[in-house]
Structure 1
Amino acid sequence: MPTQRITFPGHDGSELAARLDVPDGPHLATALFAHCFTCGKDIPAARRIAARLASMGIAVLRFDFTGLGHSAGEFSNTSFTSNVEDLIAANAYLADRGMTPSLMIGHSLGGAAVLKATSKLDTIKAVATLGAPFDTEHVTHNFADALPEIMSKGVAEVSLGGRPFQIGKGFVEDVAQEKLSPAIAALNAALLVLHAPRDEIVSIDNAGQIFLAAKHPKSFVTLDSADHLITRGEDAEYAADVIATWVRRYITLKPPAPPPGAPEGVLRVSEADPQGYLTDITSSDGHHLLADEPLAYGGTNKGLSPYGFLSAGLGACTSMTLRMYARRKGWPLAHVSVDVSHNKMHAQDAETAVGEKIDTWRRRITLTGDLDAEQRARLLEIADKCPVHRTLERSSTVITELAE
C-alpha cells in the first residue's frame, strides 16, 4: 500500500501534515479520517483502518489537526469548530485533486467533528464514528482541574497522556456551546456507530444518543472489550473489517475491466501485519479475505492458511461443478457438501524421485437427493472433471517478476 506524505492548508492557512494511503491497484473511492483529541494521524487504529480500506480500492487521507503532530499552527488557538473547518479544508484539497471523498471516519472527538462536517458537505455518502462523544464538552473532563485557570487566564498548560498541551479559553467555550443533535439529524449520509461498552473515556451512552439522533440508514456495532484508543491490534482489525464490509452498501466500488490474459482480474495479496503472517487478499471485483498461519506456526490464525485456500478452491469448484452438471441434466440433487483434507506424503512406488514428497488431497463428497446409483456414480466421475482438480493434477507454470 503506497503512502504519500503531503501537506495542505488548514482552516487558517497553516500547513497541515497528512498521509494519503492509496490503493496498489485501481482507485475506486476516497475517505477522510479524523483522529482523536490530541492524538495524531499515525495512531495504530488509524493506520490499520486506512490500510484495510486502501486494500479494497479506497484511498484514505489522515492528517494532523492544526497545531498537532507535524502540522503547523498554534494548538492553543484551535477549537472544535476549527477541527471541523480543517476537515472541510481537507475535503476541498482532495476535491481539487479529483479525489472527492465519499466516506468520513472519525475517532473520539474526531468522530464528533466528522458528524458536524458531513452535515455541511453534500458529497459524503457514509460516516463511521469510533468512540465518539455526543456532548463535545465531555472532552473537558480530561483537564477539569485546569478549567478555572483556563477561564481566568485565557490559556493553561495541561498534561494529556503524559504530554503537555496549551488549552485555550476559546476551545472550552466552543465545545460548551456546540450541540450535535441538529447536525446529526441533518446528515444526508449513512451512519455507522462503533463503540466499546467498557470505554472509560467516553461512555457508551454517547453512542446511544448519537444513534437515536440520526435518521436511517444507521447501524450500531459494539467494539466489545476494546479500549478508547483501540490500541490492541485485533480490535483495530475488527473495526477496520466492520467499516470495510458496511461501506459497500452505501458507496459503489466498481472495479475496471480485467486486463488481457487475466479473465478473473488480478488478485492482490499484501501484508497486514509485518510482525506476523496476517495477510490481506483482495480480488479485483472487491472481495476481501484474510490469510494467516496457525498459532502453532507463529501465526494468529485469523484466516485460512495458504494450503487451506487451495483446499477451499478444490472443494468449492467440486461443489459448483456437480451442481452445474445436475442442473443441466435435471437430476434431483438437493444438496452438495465436500470435505477436503490435505497432506504431503512421501512418494512410494511413484514416478518421482526417491524421498520426494507429493501432495495428497482427500475429498469426501456428500450428495443429498433422490438420486439412483447410476446418477451418484456419474456425479462422482464428474467431480474429477472439476477445473481446479484438473489444475492440481497437472503441472502448471508460475511466472514470477519483480515490480518496478
Structure 2
Amino acid sequence: MDSSKGSSAASIQKIVIPNSNNEKLVGLLHETGSTEVVVLCHGFLSNKNDPVTKNIAAALEKEGISAYRFDFSGNGESEGSFYFGNYNYEADDLRSVIQYFTNMNRVVPIILGHSKGGDVVLVYASRFHDIRNVINLSGYSDLKRSLVMRLGENYLERITQQGYIDAEEYNIKYRVTKESLMERLNTDMHEVCLKIDKECRVLTVHGSADEIIPWEDAKEFEKIIHNHKLEILEGADHCYTKHLSQLVTTVMEFIKTVIVNH
C-alpha cells in the first residue's frame, strides 16, 4: 500500500450494493486506490453520515487507506424496512458489502462499528470468520439492559398483547415489532463473543462518560473476548462529541498496525 497518496488523490464515490434480499444498500467509498478497504458501520437511528464514521473515514483517507461507510437496510438512503433489533440481518448486509469488495479484488482487513454497529460487527465476526480485525466503538455487552428505559415497564406483556410498541428517541418515532424485539432478546452477546476466532483481534473503545451504554459493558467484552484490547476514553460521551479527535487517534493507531502488518 502506498500511504503517500494522501487525501489529494482521494475521491468520494457513491456505491450502491444489493444485499441478499436485493435491497439496495447505499454507501460512500473514500477511494484512495489502496487494495484495502475499511468498512464502517453506523449505530441505531443513525446513518453513514454520522460524525464518528465520517471523521474516521477522513482520517483513513489521509493515510491513503480507502474506507466505505454505508446505510444498513431500512436506514438512511438504503432500501428495506427499519427494525429495532435486526442484528443478524445487518450482519448479512455487512456480508454483502464485504463480498462486493472481495469480488472487486479488494481486501477488507478491518470492520468497525459504532454503538449498535459495534454489536453488528461482533455478530459478523462470530458468524463468518473471514475478518481478522474488528473495532467495536461503544457497543452493548448486554442487549436486554436498556429495554425498560426505552420501552417502559412490562414491555414484554404489552408487546405480546398488541404485537408492537411505538417508541421515540431523539425526536425520531419508530415501531418495535414483536419479531424484532425477540431477535434482540435472543442475541446473546456473551455467546456471540465466545464464537469469535481466537486469531481475530478486537479493539473496544468506550467513553467513561457514556450516557447511553455504561462503560462497564466494555469491561465485559474484555472478560469474554480472547484477543482483545480495551481503550476507555476519559470523559467521552456515547457519540464522542468533544472527544472525536482522541477517538480517531486511538482507532488509527490500531488500524495502522494492522495495515502495515497486513
TM-score range, shorter chain: 0.7 to 0.9
Aligned to 2:207: 196
Q: Does 1:42 align with 2:49?
A: yes
Residue 179 of structure 2 aligns to which amino acid in structure 1? G
- The gaps in structure 2 that reach 5 residues or longer are 1-9
Residue 156 of structure 1 aligns to which amino acid in structure 2? I
Give the match's secondary structure for 1:248.
helix
Aligned to 1:136: 143
Alignment match of 1:111 (pick from 99, 112, 118):
118
Q: Distance in 2 between matches of 1:149 and 1:10?
A: 33
C-alpha contact (below 8 Å) 2:35/2:106 kept by paired residues:
no
Aligned to 2:80: 73
Residue 107 of structure 1 aligns to which amino acid in structure 2? H
* Deviations, residues 22-54 of structure 1 (Å, cap 9, x unaligned): 22xx40421111111111110111100111112
1:139 CA displacement: 4.8
1:154 CA displacement: 2.3
Q: Distance in 2 between matches of 1:77 and 1:37?
A: 8
Aligned to 2:181: 172
C-alpha contact (below 8 Å) 2:167/2:173 kept by paired residues:
yes
Residue 73 of structure 1 aligns to which amino acid in structure 2? G
Cα-Cα RMSD: 2.1
C-alpha contact (below 8 Å) 1:35/1:106 kept by paired residues:
yes
C-alpha contact (below 8 Å) 2:115/2:138 kept by paired residues:
yes
* Deviations, residues 188-244 of structure 1 (Å, cap 9, x unaligned): 31111100111110001110011111113x211112112112233xx1221111111
* Deviations, residues 57-89 of structure 1 (Å, cap 9, x unaligned): 322111111111111111148612211111112
Please list every run of at least 4 consecutive aligned residues from structure 1 whose deviation after the TM superposition is greater than 6 angstroms: none
Q: Distance in 2 between matches of 1:151 and 1:86?
A: 29
Aligned to 2:7: none
Aligned to 2:224: 213
Residue 204 of structure 1 aligns to which amino acid in structure 2? W
Q: Distance in 1 between matches of 2:84 and 2:202?
A: 31
Of residues 243-252 and 123-132 in structure 1, the stretch that sits farther from structure 2 once superposed is 243-252
Q: Does 1:246 align with 2:257?
A: no
Aligned to 2:3: none
Aligned to 1:61: 68
Q: 1:127 to 1:77 in 2, by over 3 A?
A: closer
Residue 151 of structure 1 aligns to which amino acid in structure 2? T
Residue 202 of structure 1 aligns to which amino acid in structure 2? I
Alignment match of 1:223 (pick from 233, 244, 250):
233
Aligned to 2:19: 10
Q: 1:176 to 1:20 in 2, by over 3 A?
A: same
Aligned to 1:161: 170
Give the match's secondary structure for 1:227.
coil
C-alpha contact (below 8 Å) 2:151/2:165 kept by paired residues:
no
Q: Distance in 2 between matches of 1:62 and 1:131?
A: 18
Q: Distance in 2 between matches of 1:141 and 1:63?
A: 30
* Deviations, residues 346-389 of structure 1 (Å, cap 9, x unaligned): xxxxxxxxxxxxxxxxxxxxxxxxxxxxxxxxxxxxxxxxxxxx
Q: Which structure has the greater CA radius of gyration?
A: 1
Q: Distance in 2 between matches of 1:192 and 1:53?
A: 17
1:253 CA displacement: 6.2
Q: For this pair of structures, how many residues does the alignment match?
A: 249
Alignment match of 1:20 (pick from 23, 26, 29):
29
Q: Distance in 2 between matches of 1:78 and 1:86?
A: 14
C-alpha contact (below 8 Å) 2:15/2:27 kept by paired residues:
yes
C-alpha contact (below 8 Å) 2:17/2:25 kept by paired residues:
yes
- The gaps in structure 1 that reach 5 residues or longer are 255-404
Residue 245 of structure 1 aligns to which amino acid in structure 2? E
Residue 180 of structure 1 aligns to which amino acid in structure 2? M
Q: Distance in 2 between matches of 1:39 and 1:33?
A: 13
Give the match's secondary structure for 2:152.
helix
1:137 CA displacement: 2.7
Give the match's secondary structure for 2:235.
coil
Aligned to 1:29: 36
1:141 CA displacement: 4.3
Q: 1:250 to 1:141 in 2, by over 3 A?
A: farther
Q: 1:138 to 1:34 in 2, by over 3 A?
A: farther
Q: Distance in 1 between matches of 2:148 and 2:27?
A: 28
Q: 1:192 to 1:143 in 2, by over 3 A?
A: same
Q: Distance in 1 between matches of 2:111 and 2:238?
A: 19
C-alpha contact (below 8 Å) 1:102/1:123 kept by paired residues:
no
